């Protein structure tokens, strides 16, 4: 676990070892404590270096132990022991020093970091506050403002930025431990007072109370509904107002309060769910363990529209050389300029953080009109607009040009992968890689497995997600896959509620208050209403292909709302045209304002269609919009399109702005209670029999009949299913 391993010229080196990330479990804390005590008591030792095994300092407290009743020795007293040592202690930080890991390093008198290492206090992402003195020592070292930004966002800070901020004393390119030993030797006998952070005053801006009040307002707005960012501001207030020891008490109180909340349980679930989904298995038995990903050294992207541009940027950021192809010179010029401007923005961001080497480490981008240049790439990502005929033509073409080992991916957001694969000479190497906009920022990659896709191809696409810093979630091939299949029903429900008497801003507010990053109407206006309109026109739900005599508000036996189509017919496409569900200050404006025109238009629409309106409560908005989405989630599980509820939750947490502190839609349903969700769906379906999507799914009913089992048991109740995975 931890050994006071060797003494090098009077410097004891203590190695923390708890694979894979040296999480500070009770056993590890106990072992480090023993090693430090031994080193302090050993006359031959004059200084101490603490390091982590296998190139990782420590990822912090062992999250797996959070739910255990019996608790180990407190990390806080180990850190105090280190800080109080009369012998200098140096932290040699390689890999990561996160949460309790960084707190331990802050207890050391000096910190040396490898250039590739990251430090951070990400407790907030688990619904907690740092609880081993991190939020008290850090503002004494780097000031309130920088600490606030780190602990309320949980962001990871690379070594060079950490040096700039003053978190570490030195950054080295290699031999971190040797450098730490040299530094330890050098400081033997020097006074340590100024290096014991808990004894120093907090560095505050002039009017710190006003600064913290303002911070609280901002944080409330930024992390709507989340409790832990607010507690982070509170703990900083304690750091400022109270002596260190009293601050420690407050820190403990806040941690203990948060520790019992539903939010922290949901966030811990979300953390492990993200890791779980990487461990995919197919019904055939092939899995992440047995399949080997192929190397991706070069890539190509076809189409430089909004998605293509940001996919190119994402690849370049991951240092993968990329060839970007467009069909004509004009599109190529526009696309290449847009890519260069995205890359410039990324470079600027990194330079502001002190990463001067970033420019050189971007993968080179080559722009071309010539398919011949794609001959040797390892992977091609097609990102042209959603037209099957065009996509098939491209796949047919790629088949003849690319080397036989090249993987062919499509960024389609819902078209049939198998149909595209069927025109290639390598259907087993065709896969969906559904990026989310903007692709160089959003963390989700929906990896869509077709009927023919091989396990090597899946494994390679999942590896690609990791290389791009994304969470890859493997899903089956069905119209709109998982994310958009659920989203369509949620949006449709919101539009029905407008027909029934609610207003777009009321619905948006209710769902944003629930915690969603953006309500459905603001989201539609941002994405562009014309996109859905085009798709509906193509499949004959509206426009010239719609059979004459089709009732305006009915398609087949289902209710249909033509409202979005009518807005498009009137040129209201959303932000891009300056008006949609809202009006904007100008075309391309971002400031959504309720539009009196829309109110008149809706009244007229309701009159023409003889609609009875009713007062739509916030409760009805939340329940109808969210439960219809959750209901479809159960259907997706039943159909075998996602292998577990965790996959759906990870998709929503990372691709659709779902509030992580509720765990994701399926976890949220488990907390609300499946019998409640079922009863509400029955009620709403009863009142709206023309909306069959409100009819409770048989899997939901089955789970309720089995006594509402906990989420981790849901999979076992799926029974025999024709898995599409």
Site residues for ligand 3H9 per CB under 6 A: 20-21, 23, 59-64, 75, 96, 98-100, 103, 122-123, 126, 130-132, 134, 275
Choice between 122 and 303, CB closer to ligand 3H9: 122
Q: How far is the CB of 576 from ligand 3H9 (least distance, A)?
A: 37
Dist. CA 160–CA 118, nearest whole Å: 9
Choice between 469 and 673, CB closer to ligand 3H9: 469
From the centroid of its chain, how far is CA 671? 21
Dist. CA 544–CA 172, nearest whole Å: 66
Rounded to a whole number of angstroms, the distance between the first and last alpha carbons of the chain is: 40
435 and 614 in contact (C-beta within 8 Å)? no
Dihedral angle over CA of 53, 55, 58, 64, nearest 10: -80
Q: How far is the CB of 636 from ligand 3H9 (least distance, A)?
A: 24
Q: How far is the CB of 58 from ligand 3H9 (least distance, A)?
A: 8
Choice between 252 and 503, CB closer to ligand 3H9: 252
Dist. CA 356–CA 723, nearest whole Å: 49
38 is catalytic: no
Dist. CA 297–CA 406, nearest whole Å: 11
Choice between 60 and 665, CB closer to ligand 3H9: 60
Q: How far is the CB of 651 from ligand 3H9 (least distance, A)?
A: 18
Query: Which positions ≥6 away from 362 have C-beta within 8 Å?
Result: 316, 317, 319, 343, 346, 347
Choice between 108 and 126, CB closer to ligand 3H9: 126
- The secondary structure of residue 167, as a DSSP letter, is S
Residue of minimal Cβ distance to ligand 3H9 = 99
Dist. CA 599–CA 501, nearest whole Å: 10
Dist. CA 463–CA 471, nearest whole Å: 10
Choice between 264 and 313, CB closer to ligand 3H9: 264
Dihedral angle over CA of 245, 249, 255, 260, nearest 10: 160
Plot region of 571 (φ>0 → left; ψ -120 to 50 → alpha; else → beta): left
Dist. CA 147–CA 160, nearest whole Å: 16
Choice among 46, 83, 94, 103 that is catalytic: 103
Choice between 45 and 63, CB closer to ligand 3H9: 63
Q: How far is the CB of 40 from ligand 3H9 (least distance, A)?
A: 22
Bridge partners of 366, per DSSP, are 323
148 and 215 in contact (C-beta within 8 Å)? yes
Q: How far is the CB of 63 from ligand 3H9 (least distance, A)?
A: 4
Q: How far is the CB of 227 from ligand 3H9 (least distance, A)?
A: 16
Dist. CA 603–CA 598, nearest whole Å: 9
Q: How far is the CB of 568 from ligand 3H9 (least distance, A)?
A: 43
103 is catalytic: yes
Choice among 46, 83, 94, 123 that is catalytic: 123
531 and 413 in contact (C-beta within 8 Å)? no
Q: How far is the CB of 507 from ligand 3H9 (least distance, A)?
A: 35
57 and 96 in contact (C-beta within 8 Å)? yes
Dist. CA 702–CA 611, nearest whole Å: 36
* Three-class DSSP labels, 77-137: HHHHHHHHCCCCEEEEECCEEECHHHHHHHHCCEEEEECCCEEECHHHHHCCCCCCCHHHH
Q: How far is the CB of 717 from ligand 3H9 (least distance, A)?
A: 24
Choice between 134 and 483, CB closer to ligand 3H9: 134
Q: How is 254-321 classified by DSSP, letter by letter?
A: HHHHHHTSHHHHHHHHHHHHHHHTTS-B-TTS-BTTT--PPP---EEEE--SHHHHHHHHHHHHTT--
Dist. CA 56–CA 119, nearest whole Å: 11
Q: How far is the CB of 472 from ligand 3H9 (least distance, A)?
A: 12
Strand order across the beta sheet in which 110-114 lies? 2-8, 11-16, 47-52, 89-93, 110-114, 170-172
For residue 380, the SS3 value is strand
Choice between 71 and 607, CB closer to ligand 3H9: 71
CB atoms within 10 A of CB 106: 27
C-alpha neighbours within 13 Å on the C-beta side of residue 483: 24
Q: How far is the CB of 28 from ligand 3H9 (least distance, A)?
A: 11
Choice between 277 and 516, CB closer to ligand 3H9: 277
Q: How far is the CB of 130 from ligand 3H9 (least distance, A)?
A: 4
CB atoms within 10 A of CB 563: 19
The b-or-e profile of 264-282 (16+ CB within 10 A means b, else e) is: bbbbbbbbebbebbbebeb
Plot region of 225 (φ>0 → left; ψ -120 to 50 → alpha; else → beta): left
Cis check: omega of the bond before 31, within 30 degrees of 0: no
Query: Which positions ≥6 away from 316 have C-beta within 8 Å?
Result: 322, 343, 362, 363, 364, 365
Residues marked as catalytic: 103, 123
């Amino acid at each position: 676990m931890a050994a006071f391993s060797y003494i090098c010229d009077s410097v004891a080196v203590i190695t923390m070892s708890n694979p894979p990330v040296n999480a500070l479990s009770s056993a590890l804390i106990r072992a480090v404590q023993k090693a430090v005590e031994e080193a302090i008591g050993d006359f031959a030792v004059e200084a101490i270096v603490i390091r982590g095994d296998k190139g990782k300092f420590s990822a912090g407290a062992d999250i797996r132990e959070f739910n255990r009743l019996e608790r180990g020795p407190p990390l806080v007293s180990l850190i105090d022991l280190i800080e109080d040592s009369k012998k200098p202690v140096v932290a040699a930080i390689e890999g990561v020093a996160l949460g309790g890991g960084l707190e331990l390093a802050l207890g050391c008198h000096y910190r040396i970091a490898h250039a590739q290492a990251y430090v951070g206090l990400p407790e907030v992402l688990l619904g907690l506050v740092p609880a081993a003195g991190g939020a008290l020592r850090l503002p004494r070292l780097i000031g309130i403002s920088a600490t606030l930004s780190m602990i309320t966002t949980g962001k990871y800070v690379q070594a060079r930025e950490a040096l700039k901020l003053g978190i570490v004393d030195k950054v080295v390119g290699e031999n971190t431990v040797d450098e730490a030993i040299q530094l330890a030797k050098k400081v033997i006998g020097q006074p340590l007072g100024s290096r014991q952070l808990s004894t120093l005053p907090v560095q505050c801006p002039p009017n710190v109370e006003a600064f913290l009040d303002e911070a609280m307002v901002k944080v409330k707005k930024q992390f709507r509904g989340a409790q832990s960012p607010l507690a982070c501001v509170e703990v900083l207030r304690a750091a400022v107002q109270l002596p260190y020891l009293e601050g420690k008490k407050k820190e403990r109180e806040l941690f203990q309060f948060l520790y019992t909340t539903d939010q922290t349980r949901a966030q811990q679930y979300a953390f492990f769910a993200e890791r779980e989904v990487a461990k995919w298995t197919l019904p055939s038995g092939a899995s992440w363990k047995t399949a080997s990903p192929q190397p991706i050294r070069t890539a190509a992207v076809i189409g430089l529209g909004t998605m293509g541009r940001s996919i190119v940027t994402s690849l370049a950021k991951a240092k993968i050389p990329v060839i970007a192809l467009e069909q004509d010179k004009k599109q190529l010029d526009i696309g290449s300029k847009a890519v260069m401007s995205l890359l410039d923005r990324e470079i600027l961001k990194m330079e502001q953080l002190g990463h001067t080497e970033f420019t050189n480490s971007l993968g080179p981008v080559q722009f071309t009109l010539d398919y011949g240049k794609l001959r040797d790439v390892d992977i091609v990502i097609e990102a042209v607009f959603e037209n099957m005929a065009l996509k098939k033509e491209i796949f047919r073409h790629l088949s003849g040009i690319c080397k036989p080992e090249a993987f062919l991916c499509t960024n389609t957001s819902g078209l049939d992968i198998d149909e595209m694969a069927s025109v290639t000479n390598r259907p087993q190497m065709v896969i969906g890689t559904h990026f989310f906009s903007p692709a160089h920022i959003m963390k989700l990659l929906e990896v869509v497995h077709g009927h023919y896709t091989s396990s090597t191809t899946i494994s390679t696409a999942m590896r690609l997600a990791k290389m791009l810093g994304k969470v890859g979630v493997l899903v089956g091939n069905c119209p709109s896959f998982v994310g958009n299949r659920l989203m369509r029903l949620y949006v449709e429900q919101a539009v029905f509620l407008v027909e029934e008497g609610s207003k777009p801003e009321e619905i948006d507010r209710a769902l944003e208050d629930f915690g969603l990053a953006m309500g459905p109407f603001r989201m539609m206006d941002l994405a562009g209403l014309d996109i859905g309109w085009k798709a509906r026109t193509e499949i004959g739900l509206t426009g010239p292909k719609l059979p004459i005599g089709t009732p305006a508000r009915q398609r087949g036996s289902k209710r249909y709302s033509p409202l979005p189509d009518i807005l498009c017919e009137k040129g209201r496409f959303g932000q891009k045209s300056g008006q949609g569900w809202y009006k904007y200050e100008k075309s391309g404006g971002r400031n959504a304002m309720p539009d009196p025109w829309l109110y008149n238009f809706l009244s007229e629409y309701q009159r023409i269609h003889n609609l009875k309106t009713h007062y739509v409560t916030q409760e009805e908005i939340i329940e109808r919009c969210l439960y219809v989405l959750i209901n479809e989630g159960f259907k997706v599980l039943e159909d075998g399109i996602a292998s577990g509820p965790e996959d759906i939750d990870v998709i929503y947490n990372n691709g659709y702005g779902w509030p992580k502190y509720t765990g994701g839609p399926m976890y949220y349903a488990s907390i609300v209670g499946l019998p409640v969700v079922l009863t509400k769906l029955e009620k709403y379906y009863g009142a709206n029999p023309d909306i069959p999507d409100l009819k409770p799914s048989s899997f939901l009913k089955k789970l309720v009949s089995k006594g509402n089992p906990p989420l981790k048991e849901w999979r076992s109740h799926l029974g025999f299913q024709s898995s599409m995975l």
